[in-house]
Amino acid sequence: MAPLILLLFLLSEAASDLIVETVPGHDVILPCQADDSSIKAVKWSRPDLKPDIVLLYRDGHLNKYDQNPSFKDRVELVDRDLKDGDVSLILKNVKSNYTGIYKCGVKTGDTDLIRVIRTVRLQVTEPDLTVVTVPGDDVILPCRADDSSIRAVEWTRPDLKPDIVLYYRAGRLNTTDQHPSYKGRVELVDRDLKDGDVSSILKNVNKHDAGTYNCRVITGDTDPIRIIRTIYLQVPDLVVETVPGDNATLPCQADDSSIRAVEWTRPDLEPDIVLLYSDGHLETDTSIHPLRTGWSWWTEI
């Protein structure tokens, strides 16, 4: 019996390993799909932690008692109805230390066992640089290689498939495996790569361009490709500029007027809420970031 169990274990260990990459402060989905829809329980775990439970969902409820405290209020299922076997996990406002291997397990109809059906590796990388732009603009993603004998340049977005944004080799751009959304919109700033300049320019930016970009080069003949810079491109709807000491207004308009609560957050802070307005008054409890003291709230009637 033991060898059979070991074999099953190995098989389940090997099940489609997926890598999800993001930067701190974002919500991220770890996809997982069960082929059986009669799911009795879902368990997401991180075997390197104690307790290892990231999320445990059983009989229509999240079990918070056995959960690792680091994930309290930071995890949710994409769909609590588990429609069509979707047991994907949402991790909210991820930190660098969310980097790790997550196992997705389900218990289905006829067995007591929670069976691991997928392993997902989450990589949360602090970008070397954050670039902010607005939709419609052109933006330069700066990158310089210290070695000038560059054989190939590659810009990638690890969250896309295919992940190639730009690929340049032997004096020309190669668009064969380029992600379709970047076709005709991306170019090197200097095709001569003078002084190791491998910056790229992205034209007519849209909201879907927001994400992590890796600047990679191949130099010497036998050298492997190496990441020399990670840039996070932020594409907010609006950029408000101000100077220290001034008041700034961040405009926001809801199309429904029956608003019961308003929340402003800054995902890079902990806690992330900067303003919470509900039932006619501002909340000021400790779950709100101390920045709140600088915030006011007004309505136009």
Give the footprint of ligand NAG on this chain (CB under 6 A): 70, 95, 97-98, 174, 176-177, 246-247
Pick between residue 53 and residue 233 the one whose CB is nearest to ligand NAG: 53
Which residue, 89, 85, 82, is CA-closest to 103? 89
CB of residue 195 vs ligand NAG: minimum separation in angstroms? Answer: 25
The residue of the chain with the least Cβ separation from ligand NAG equals: 70
CB of residue 207 vs ligand NAG: minimum separation in angstroms? Answer: 28
Pick between residue 47 and residue 136 the one whose CB is nearest to ligand NAG: 47
Q: What is the largest CA-CA distance in the chain?
A: 74
Q: Give the sheet arrangement for strand 61-62, strand by strand.
A: 17-22, 115-124, 100-108, 39-45, 53-58, 61-62
CB of residue 301 vs ligand NAG: minimum separation in angstroms? Answer: 17
CB of residue 6 vs ligand NAG: minimum separation in angstroms? Answer: 29
CB of residue 67 vs ligand NAG: minimum separation in angstroms? Answer: 11
Cβ pair 74, 86 in contact under 8 A: no
Pick between residue 70 and residue 149 the one whose CB is nearest to ligand NAG: 70
- Residue 139, sorted as left (phi over 0), alpha (psi -120 to 50) or beta, turns out to be beta
Tokens standing for residue 242: 């101000």
Pairing between β-strand 39-45 and β-strand 139-141 as defined by DSSP bridges: unpaired
Q: How far is CA 122 from CA 21, 30, 222, in A?
A: 6, 8, 30
CB of residue 263 vs ligand NAG: minimum separation in angstroms? Answer: 22
Spatial distance between the Cα atoms of 145 and 269, rounded to a whole number of angstroms: 32
DSSP state of 12: H
Pick between residue 112 and residue 177 the one whose CB is nearest to ligand NAG: 177
CB of residue 196 vs ligand NAG: minimum separation in angstroms? Answer: 22
CB of residue 80 vs ligand NAG: minimum separation in angstroms? Answer: 23
Cβ pair 100, 45 in contact under 8 A: no
Cβ pair 129, 231 in contact under 8 A: yes
Instruction: Collapse the DSSP code of 126 into the 3-class scheme (helix H, G, I; strand E, B; otherwise coil) and give the result.
Output: coil
What lies within 8 Å, CB to CB, of 49 at 6+ separation is 68, 70, 100
Pairing between β-strand 152-156 and β-strand 164-169 as defined by DSSP bridges: antiparallel
Pick between residue 64 and residue 95 the one whose CB is nearest to ligand NAG: 95
